[in-house]
């Protein structure tokens, strides 16, 4: 089946999908995006993604081109056309095309782009064994809560992780763990789940919220607070959450084993709970 593209209200073959070089998404990273995946062919947590898209767009004073009902219709239609067993849906909303100038004209029509591609889940052996991560200084801007198209710092961090042969870059700002380059980070200490609080330093993940709720339902104490790098290294367990990684154990950070160097019981419980929920 072909990958599906959608531009400004029309489905087009991916190879024919084109936007203007004047588009502000290209020129400035002036826009926002969402990534959604399907489980058993059905898009997961759409309402939470729409809520975040609305928050991100509002923060940039971007006009929302579609209602939630219209977005949902387009996503379902894209998934139907692509007909993959599982799909990942990227939605990008830029401020639109205009001659290059930092200042933007009023009433610019936003550019809406969506692609639907096949989703390949992580290999089961990777989730069973857990992954390695490295810490990297978080050099991102002051509004990481906006899911902005401007991902340069994340791109560089992710590339550095790849070159170091580890799965994820864990970002640290002023001594505190913020999140991963493409995920949120949770730490287990003394049976409690710790994660950075919502706010401008992290992207509040859809999966993060789902997993925190699972933890509460499991009777686990949760603390949304800053986690120092020393607490990260000394954690009983560390795991990542995200649309593409789900709940993924981190067994080594900067070459140091976390706990006994294997996915821990709390991570396994939450990963199993997550699998049940999406299944």
Instruction: Kindly list the catalytic residues.
Output: 147
Residue reference for tokens 């639907």: 116
Q: What are phi and psi of 143, to 5 degrees?
A: -135, 60
Q: How far apart are CA 161 and CA 40, in angstroms?
A: 31
- How many residues contact ligand PLP, by CB under 6 A? 14
Q: Which residues contact residue 160 at a Cβ distance below 8 angstroms, ignoring those fewer than 6 apart? A: 134, 136, 169
Residue of the chain from 27, 183, 195, 267 that contacts ligand PLP (CB under 6 A): 183
Q: Are 254 and 221 a contacting pair, CB within 8 Å? A: no
Residue of the chain from 208, 235, 237, 273 that contacts ligand PLP (CB under 6 A): 208
Cβ of residue 203: shortest distance to ligand PLP, in angstroms? 4
The region of 108-116, 162-170, 187-195, 241-249 touching ligand PLP under the rule CB under 6 A is 241-249
The region of 63-71, 160-168, 213-221, 239-247 touching ligand PLP under the rule CB under 6 A is 239-247
Q: Does an H or E element contain 211, and which?
A: helix 206-217
Task: Give bridge partners of residue 113 from the DSSP assignment.
Answer: 7, 92
SS3 76: helix
Q: According to the binding rule CB under 6 A, does residue 206 interact with ligand PLP? A: yes
Task: Please report, as residue ranges, which positions from 135 to 164 form the binding site for ligand PLP (by CB under 6 A).
Answer: 154
Residue of the chain from 38, 111, 115, 207 that contacts ligand PLP (CB under 6 A): 207
Q: According to the binding rule CB under 6 A, does residue 178 interact with ligand PLP? A: no
Strand 131-137, strand 168-173: pairing = parallel
Tokens of 253: 């950070």
Which lies closer to ligand PLP via its Cβ, residue 38 or residue 184? Answer: 184
Cβ of residue 28: shortest distance to ligand PLP, in angstroms? 19
What distances in angstroms separate CA 142 from CA 121, 146, 170, 200, 202, one per listed residue?
A: 31, 10, 17, 6, 9
The region of 67-75, 192-200, 205-213, 227-235 touching ligand PLP under the rule CB under 6 A is 205-213
Binding mask 16-45 for ligand PLP (x = CB under 6 A): -------------------x----------
Q: How far apart are CA 110 and CA 97, in angstroms?
A: 8
Binding site for ligand PLP (CB under 6 A): 35, 154, 179, 182-184, 203, 205-208, 241-243
């Amino acid at each position: 089946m072909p990958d599906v593209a959608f531009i400004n209200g029309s489905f087009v073959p991916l190879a024919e999908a084109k936007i203007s070089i004047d588009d502000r998404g290209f020129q400035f990273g002036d826009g926002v995006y969402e990534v959604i995946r399907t489980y058993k062919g059905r898009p997961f947590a759409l309402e939470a993604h729409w809520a975040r898209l609305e928050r991100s767009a509002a923060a940039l004073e971007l006009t929302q081109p579609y209602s939630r009902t219209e977005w949902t219709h387009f996503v379902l239609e894209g998934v139907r056309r692509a007909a993959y067993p599982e799909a990942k849906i990227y939605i990008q909303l830029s401020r639109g095309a205009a001659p290059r100038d930092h200042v933007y004209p009023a009433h610019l029509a936003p550019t809406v782009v969506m692609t639907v591609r096949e989703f390949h889940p992580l290999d089961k052996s990777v989730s069973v064994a857990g992954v390695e991560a490295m810490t990297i200084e978080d050099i991102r801007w002051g509004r990481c809560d906006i899911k902005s198209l401007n991902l340069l710092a994340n791109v560089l961090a992710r590339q550095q992780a790849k070159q170091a042969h580890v799965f994820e870059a864990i970002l640290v700002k002023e001594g505190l763990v913020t999140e991963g380059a493409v995920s949120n980070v949770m730490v287990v200490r003394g049976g409690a789940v710790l994660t950075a609080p919502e706010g401008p330093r992290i992207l509040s993940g859809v999966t993060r919220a789902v997993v925190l709720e699972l933890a509460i339902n499991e009777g686990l104490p949760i603390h949304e607070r800053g986690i120092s790098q020393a607490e990260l290294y000394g954690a009983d367990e560390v795991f990542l959450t995200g649309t593409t990684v789900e709940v993924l154990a981190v067994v080594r950070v900067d070459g140091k084993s976390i706990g006994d160097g294997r996915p821990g019981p709390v991570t396994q419980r939450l990963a199993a709970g997550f699998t049940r929920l999406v299944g």
